[in-house]
Structure 1
Amino acid sequence: MTLKPVWIYLENGVFLEAKSFGFEGTKTGEIVFNTSMSGYQEILSDPSYAGQFIVFTMPEIGIVGTNDNDMESRTIHASGMFVRSLNLTPSNFRSQAGLSDFLKQHQSMGICDIDTRYLTKMIRDGGPRMMIASTEVSDVEVLKEMLRKSPRIEEVNYIEKVSTSESYRHTHGAWNAETQSYNASPKRLGKKILAVDLGIKRNILNELCEVGLDVEVVPHDFNGDEVIARYKKGEIHGLFLSNGPGDPLILKSEAQEVKKLIEAKVPIFAICLGHQLLSIAHGYPTYKLKFGQHGGNHPVKNMANHVVEITTQNHNYNVPDSICKIAKITHVNLFDNTIEGLEYNDSPIFSVQHHPEASSGPQESRYIFQEFANRL
């Protein structure tokens, strides 16, 4: 396979040339880095990465290929990926397609033969920034102007692009390594929840079903009054707010609907973007971290039992420390001491910033799904 050149321009003025192995064309996005050692397919297909280029710090990528069962959503939402060394020949019995073909199928860019350590250090020191990559345009001035005219990630409502347009029922549970399939008929508790799709990962839905919940997935533009009416009638027992992409402060209408649920004391559990949306709905705006937290090896301390859990993370935004006025901090990130979990005072609402479903990553926080089921 002959790799074509690709030219990259970042808003800080850095201009680079590398090799392209995925979708050919021109894309813009925000560049971030991910420290996971495995699971590149799950990361790429996580809707939370919409509008972003992912720099993988793991130098060897492509070894296990790709397969349909490891998709976290219907397609790749990330603009593209940076890898140091690309493996074009998969070595895994589950592989159905190589990484290059996978990226081309889902129209996402692949960029290799580039110093990912340099890119990671640049993001770590200066923060995520907008960039443009092109296999068509090599002139730095033209790329610079194209990037200048493109919308910034905080100006785009990516939720409208990644959320489901219609409600549906999710029915299968977690992945079973012995049967090489997802558990088809998990136990049922007789409790139903609505899962608001802000860019939800399939393995979050799998874990909710695995603990026995009946899960109905609804679009991002749900009606709070209708949810409250269903809750009062006993048709549903609670609500889940999912992960998702972009700046949470852009979700003004969703925050208003969530506020209605808070006032009605509907039981809520939220992860990542949903965690941030709860903070905003309570009147505590989120802020952007210096370079975000993306990876499958982040230590988080459980403040109730003082156990350290290794977690999967994927976010650029966080809730403010001032929220402790209305909520108890349940989890803390040991890398930077940011808030990782909250339980709201006098309210059946709790949330976490990290991903207890992992996929890929450690499953030490998986118990949180059972905790949600137990509270309903």
Structure 2
Amino acid sequence: MSELKDVYLYFANGLSLKAKSFGKEGTFVGEVVFNTSMTGYQEIITDPSYAGQFVVFSMPEIGIVGVNDYDNESKNASCVGVIVSSYNDCVSNFRSQGTLADFLKSRNIMGICNIDTRGLIKLLTQEGAMNMIASTELSHIDDLRKALESAPDISQINFIEQVSTKTPYTHTDSVFDFATFTYAKPQKPKAKVIAIDFGAKRNILNELTSVGLEVEVMSHTFRADEILARFKKGEIQGVFLSNGPGDPLVLCDEVEQIKLLIEANIPIFGICLGHQLLSIAHGYPTHKLKFGHHGGNHPIKNLQSNVVEITAQNHNYCVPESISQIATITHRNLFDNTIEGVRYNNKPIFSVQHHPEASPGPKEASVLFQDFATLCLSHKA
């Protein structure tokens, strides 16, 4: 690998650092969060929920397994950049089709290395997620500070418009079979659902088809009346609300449409952002966590089975405790006791904050997809 170019970092708290750049060069602004996963950096980078963010990896060595076409969670990568302790450009993996550096460059993502990520993660846990600017073009602190101060805050940006599909389509893939390196054949559809794309990961859609659901993906600009008309005709049996990036309180139009779905008593399953939007639509606004939950090794307790499950997580926002007034809390995070899942009282609606599809991470909570399929099959319009 050729000699790496200097990159200059400036954080909202006034910290400035000098590192090396191995991805796209230029000037980038975003919110800094950290991820505790030990594997799966390609899935993390291509997760649309990271739109507008720099991801700090706690795993110190990144790049050795390269990248491949199978591990993308979306067609594009939405994160602003990645920050690692040590980047390896020498690929050693039989599945690899290229280097991470080339992958980032082709997708306009900055790569930052040769930095004390342990110290940076400690800072984020103490002071919380914060905005940062990184540049291979600007080096003076005053220039970096002015550019950062003039940039919009992540809470003011509707990232859904960037990551949601523009046209409806039917998702036909199922879960990936690593024994044959092909996608498993989906079950014969037993029911059909509409998946609202707020930035859906591919493996969430794969899991839905794997339990016998025909999945039609629609844009975040969906109209509830059109969906409900099809529900009443028996053309569809449920609605899935996907994960996605940004502050859910920004999505006022989407919340209004979700309210109409709730009133119609249609089966609904929400994951991550979908979970948060359901809470807001019920009248219980979300709040931002100090540094969020991002990783593939987060323990939660399933309060219904009394079993501890290790889960994949990627969120900065949380539903309030007061939601227990209208819903049963089904899951809790064992790191900070925040709510990880709810089932709404007297309604065919449930949601979880964690990612039962993993990718990367364990799939101990994947039974939730079968629960949704069962709900769709048993509930009548």
Aligned residue identity for 1:97: G
Match of 1:218 in 2: 218
Query: What corresponds to 1:137 in structure 2?
Result: 138
Counterpart of 1:364 in structure 2 is 364
Separation in structure 1 between the aligned mates of residue 118 and residue 354 of structure 2, nearest angstrom: 25
Which residue number corresponds to residue 203 of structure 1? 203
Q: Which residue of 2 aligns with 1:33?
A: 34
Q: How does 1:156-171 map to 2 (within 5 A)?
A: 156-171=157-172
Cα distance in 2 for residues equivalent to 1:4 and 1:250:
37
Q: Identify the residue that residue 310 of structure 1 maps to in structure 2.
A: 310
* Alignment partners' CA distance in 1, 2:178 and 2:148: 44
Q: Deviations over 1:198-251 (max 9, x none)?
A: 000000000000111000000001001111111011010000000000000000
1:327 aligned residue? 327
| Deviation per residue, 1:45-98 (Å, 9 max, x gap) | 000000000000000100110011100001110000000011111111110010
Question: What is the identity, as a one-letter code, of the residue corresponding to 2:229?
Answer: A
State the SS of the aligned residue for 1:169: strand
Q: Which residue of 1 aligns with 2:379?
A: none
Displacement of 1:129 in angstroms is 0.5
User: What is the Cα deviation at residue 182 of structure 1?
Assistant: 1.1
- The one-letter code sitting in structure 2 at the alignment partner of 1:92 is N
TM superposition shift of 1:187: 1.2
Deviation at 1:264, TM superposition (A): 0.4
Tell me the distance in 2 between the aligned counterparts of 1:181 and 1:101.
25
2:105 corresponds in structure 1 to: 104
Distance, in Å, in 1 between the alignment partners of 2:312 and 2:10 is 30
Counterpart Cα distance in 1 of 2:192 and 2:128:
41
Partners of 2:323 and 2:190 in 1: how far apart? 34
Deviations, residues 252-308 of structure 1 (Å, cap 9, x unaligned)? 000000000000011000000000000000000000001100000000100011100
Separation of aligned partners in 2, 1:137 and 1:60: 27
Deviations 1:116-157 (A, max 9, x none): 011101100000001100001101101100011100000000
1:138-181 alpha-carbon deviations (Å, 9 max, x no partner)? 01101100011100000000000000000000001001011101
Tell me what 2:6 maps to: 5
Whole-Å separation in 2 of the counterparts to 1:210 and 1:250: 32
**Residue equivalent to 1:284:** 284
- One-letter identity of the residue aligned with 1:358: A
Identity %: 61
- In structure 2, the residue matched to 1:349 is 349
Q: CA deviation at 1:190?
A: 2.6
Cα distance in 1 for residues equivalent to 2:77 and 2:135: 18
Matches within 5 A, 1:71-90: 71-90=72-91
Partner of 1:337: 337
Is 1:245 aligned with 2:245?
yes
CA offset at residue 189 of structure 1? 3.6
- CA distance in 1: counterparts of 2:34 and 2:236, whole angstroms: 39
The answer to whether the aligner puts 1:373 opposite 2:377 as a matched pair is: no
Between the two proteins, the alignment pairs up a number of residues equal to: 375
Structure 2 Cα separation of the partners of residues 194 and 245 of structure 1: 20
Correspondence 1:187 to 2:187: yes
The within-5 A match list for 1:34-49 is 34-49=35-50
* 1:229 equivalent in structure 2: 229
Distance 2:321 2:192 in 1: 33
Structure 2: 5+ residue stretches without partners: 377-381
Mind listing any 5+ residue stretches in structure 1 that lack a counterpart? Answer: none
CA separation in 1, counterparts of 2:198 and 2:93?
32
**Following the alignment from structure 1 to structure 2, what is the Cα–Cα distance between the partners of residues 51 and 135?**
18
- Secondary structure, in 3 states, of the residue corresponding to 1:216? strand
In 1, the alpha carbon distance for the partners of 2:276 and 2:188 equals: 30
Matches of 2:359 and 2:17 in 1, distance apart? 32
Match of 2:57 in 1: 56
Q: Distance in 2 between matches of 1:127 and 1:85?
A: 24
Question: What is the TM-score when the length of structure 2 is the normalising length?
Answer: 0.98
Give the partner amino acid of 1:306. N
AA partner of residue 87 (structure 1) = N
1:203 aligns to what SS in structure 2? Answer: helix
Secondary structure of the residue aligned to 2:24 is coil
Q: TM-score, normalised by structure 1?
A: 0.99
5 Å-filtered alignment, 1:139-158, equals 139-158=140-159
- Give runs of ≥4 in structure 1 deviating > 4 Å: none
- CA deviations on 1:314-339 (whole Å, 9 max, x unpaired) are 00000000000000000000000000
Specify the code of the residue in structure 2 equivalent to 1:163: S
Q: Which amino acid aligns with 2:316?
A: N
Where 2:240 maps in the other structure, the secondary structure is strand
Query: Which one-letter code corresponds to 1:37 in the other structure?
Result: M
